[in-house]
Structure 1
Amino acid sequence: MKSTPRPIDAAALAIMFGLCAVWGGQQVAVKLAVPVVPPVLQAGLRSLIATVLVGGWMLWRRQKLITGDGTLPAGLLAGLLFSLEFLCIFVGLTHTTASRMAVFLYSAPCFTAIGLHWTVPSERLRPMQWLGMAVAFCGIVVAFSDGSGSDLATTWPGDLLGILAGVFWGTTTVIVRASRLASAAPSKTLLYQLAVSAVLLCTLALGTGNVHVGPMTATTWVSLAYQSIGVAFASYLIWFGMLTRYSAARLASFSFLSPLFGVTFGVLVLGESVGWRFAGAVVLVFAGISLVNRRH
């Protein structure tokens, strides 16, 4: 029996703000490591390291890694979707910029809201909340509308993979919220996805021969640590814990903040420039999130 999700409170707001800041740096971190570690191998190693960390966390807390709670089918499906999402992200980033990837990847809340609207009665959004989703997404489009001068003829494969990644992310959230995983321990939900993706992505890297690693630099080590420990382990563990307590559709609306953080990190780390549209985009994003999280 699924519990009724709580309304978004101050604690959830603060946590989601921090998570979005962490997620916002993910594309930049991947870009920094791609010249040294091939994208598919990088994604697989990231999941493998995080799998060990989550497994160790569960053992330390004396949680069972394997139980007969009926979550295995949904867990394997979520793991497959998780694998496809990050395969699209990491490969896509070799064809498009981090900024463009963020635009399409963070269409995921829209797919999440649509899926939950039809599968979980307590997650249904009202017209005003759908308007909030649209306003927030328009803010993201505005933030990147001046782009970086990239040629669409060369970036469209990466852009398409970004859209697919958003679909897979949104679908994964729906699976977690609409199945027995909604009442499972957050660590177990995450372990399913990390373990499956570690196996699939590392196998794919080996099968395609994309396993050559260049000379490791300090930047590469920091990037891998950030992706594995900061994002895949810590932030996702917190995220799945949030999904068991709060409305998934409303939490997902906050992820529109992540690409705005991504722009900031792009400026500070990669030296990218942003135009005046960024300030307007921030207003639109916060307005959209406010509409989505309005109470009855």
Structure 2
Amino acid sequence: MDFKALFMGLAFAFMWSSAFTSARMIVADAPPLYSLSLRFLISGLIGVALARMLGESWNLTRSQWRATIIFGICQNAAYLGLNFIAMQWIEASAAAIIASTLPLMVAAAGFLFMGDRLKPVAVAGLVAGFGGVILIMGARFGGGLDPVGVALCVLAAIALTIATLALRGASSGGNVMMVVGLQMLVGSVALIGPALAFETFEVHWTPRLILAFLYTTLVPGLAATWVWFMLVQRIGAVRGATFHFLNPFFGVAIAAALLGEGLGLIDVIGVAIIMAGILAVQLSKAPPRPI
């Protein structure tokens, strides 16, 4: 793995993990689904405009349209929508920890439902990773962690797991920024209906809300997605997914630094166990190096 790929992976992990903290700031002053739908609308229009400036085409391959629609609904609308709703009641660090189990859930679902074979190190990684989550959540439930918020985050992670498995083997075909922009627009359309039906558009305008919204729209929303697509094209999905093992660390650290969320010894131990589990699962999939 070259230095540029390493930098891209670290940047992606940091930007992706920071979204939970900025989302927590947003939902404190604005309705979650309206906020997310507007964020996707702005990100999508910017993404499509940049794609056209880069000379990218509207003519996507069939697999790209499939990726655009599935990810627009499952990742942007379901995964992020449920997480935004949940963070009205739970801390950003808890949401980040649950979301960080995605590589573990994908590996487990692939084994249970798609016939994937797991090496012993991968099985050990799955057990360790989910054990770390149970350790952290057990301690936090004792401190009053909201079970409804946790359930919504788990459902969100399941939705993204389904999308990830459904898109295995889809080809890239170029037009990366166009795909990024269009899937944002799909997410915006999918969320505006539930927002109109279930939310009241009541916003408390604060400098923190405005800055958090702009940051979420441009950095985790647009930049992180683009970096992820480019990283996967550069080093492949399996090696790229290894950087997900940093998400629990970054997610908890950013929430503690910017929101003052508590960070106990059990949290630190649990995060370390989750990171080790994710890394073990991902490394077990890596192809052997040529001799």
Superposition TM-score tier, normalisation by shorter sequence: 0.7 to 0.9
Alignment check: 8 A CA contact 1:183 1:244 kept: no
Q: CA deviation at 1:10?
A: 5.1
The 3-state SS of whatever aligns with 1:37 is coil
Q: Residue 59 of structure 2 corresponds to which residue in structure 1?
A: 67
Alignment check: 8 A CA contact 1:140 1:260 kept: no
Show the 5 A alignment for 1:164-175: 164-175=155-166
Q: CA deviation at 1:156?
A: 1.4
Taking a change above 3 Å as real, the CA distance of residues 257 and 137 of structure 1, as seen in their structure-2 partners, is farther
Taking a change above 3 Å as real, the CA distance of residues 178 and 46 of structure 1, as seen in their structure-2 partners, is same
Alignment check: 8 A CA contact 2:24 2:92 kept: yes
1:110 and 2:104 matched: yes
Alignment check: 8 A CA contact 1:139 1:282 kept: yes
Q: CA deviation at 1:140?
A: 4.8
Q: TM-score, normalised by structure 1?
A: 0.82
Match of 1:99, as an amino acid? S
Segment drifting more, 41-50 vs 188-197: 188-197
The 3-state SS of whatever aligns with 2:201 is coil
Segment drifting more, 85-94 vs 165-174: 165-174
Q: TM-score, normalised by structure 2?
A: 0.83
What is the CA–CA distance in structure 2 between the aligned matches of 1:94 and 1:275, rounded to whole Å?
22
The 3-state SS of whatever aligns with 1:94 is coil
Q: CA deviation at 1:54?
A: 0.7
Q: CA deviation at 1:190?
A: 1.8
Q: Residue 258 of structure 2 corresponds to which residue in structure 1?
A: 269
What is the CA–CA distance in structure 1 between the aligned matches of 2:3 and 2:89, rounded to whole Å?
39
Match of 2:166, as an amino acid? I
CA offsets 1:236-256 (integer angstroms, 9 cap, x no match): 111122233444345334323
- Alignment RMSD: 2.9
Match of 2:152 among 157, 161, 170: 161
CA offsets 1:244-290 (integer angstroms, 9 cap, x no match): 34443453343232232222122222222212234434543453354
Q: Residue 211 of structure 1 corresponds to which residue in structure 2?
A: 201
What is the CA–CA distance in structure 2 between the aligned matches of 1:24 and 1:252, rounded to whole Å?
14
The 3-state SS of whatever aligns with 1:244 is helix
Taking a change above 3 Å as real, the CA distance of residues 192 and 293 of structure 1, as seen in their structure-2 partners, is same
Q: Residue 99 of structure 1 corresponds to which residue in structure 2?
A: 93
Taking a change above 3 Å as real, the CA distance of residues 68 and 52 of structure 1, as seen in their structure-2 partners, is closer
Number of corresponding residues? 283
Match of 2:79, as an amino acid? E
Alignment check: 8 A CA contact 1:135 1:284 kept: yes
Alignment check: 8 A CA contact 2:83 2:153 kept: yes
Q: CA deviation at 1:119?
A: 9.6
Taking a change above 3 Å as real, the CA distance of residues 175 and 190 of structure 1, as seen in their structure-2 partners, is farther
CA offsets 1:15-38 (integer angstroms, 9 cap, x no match): 222222222221221111213210
Match of 2:93, as an amino acid? S
Q: Residue 293 of structure 1 corresponds to which residue in structure 2?
A: 283
Alignment check: 8 A CA contact 1:40 1:210 kept: no
1:179 and 2:170 matched: yes
Give the unaligned 5+ runs of structure 1.
1-7
Match of 1:29, as an amino acid? S
Match of 1:35, as an amino acid? A
Q: Residue 79 of structure 2 corresponds to which residue in structure 1?
A: 85
Give the unaligned 5+ runs of structure 2.
none
Show the 5 A alignment for 1:1-296: 11-64=4-57, 66-67=58-59, 69-70=61-62, 71-82=64-75, 83-114=77-108, 126-142=119-135, 146-147=139-140, 150-152=143-145, 155-180=146-171, 182-214=172-204, 216-281=205-270, 283-291=272-280, 292-293=282-283, 295=286, 296=288
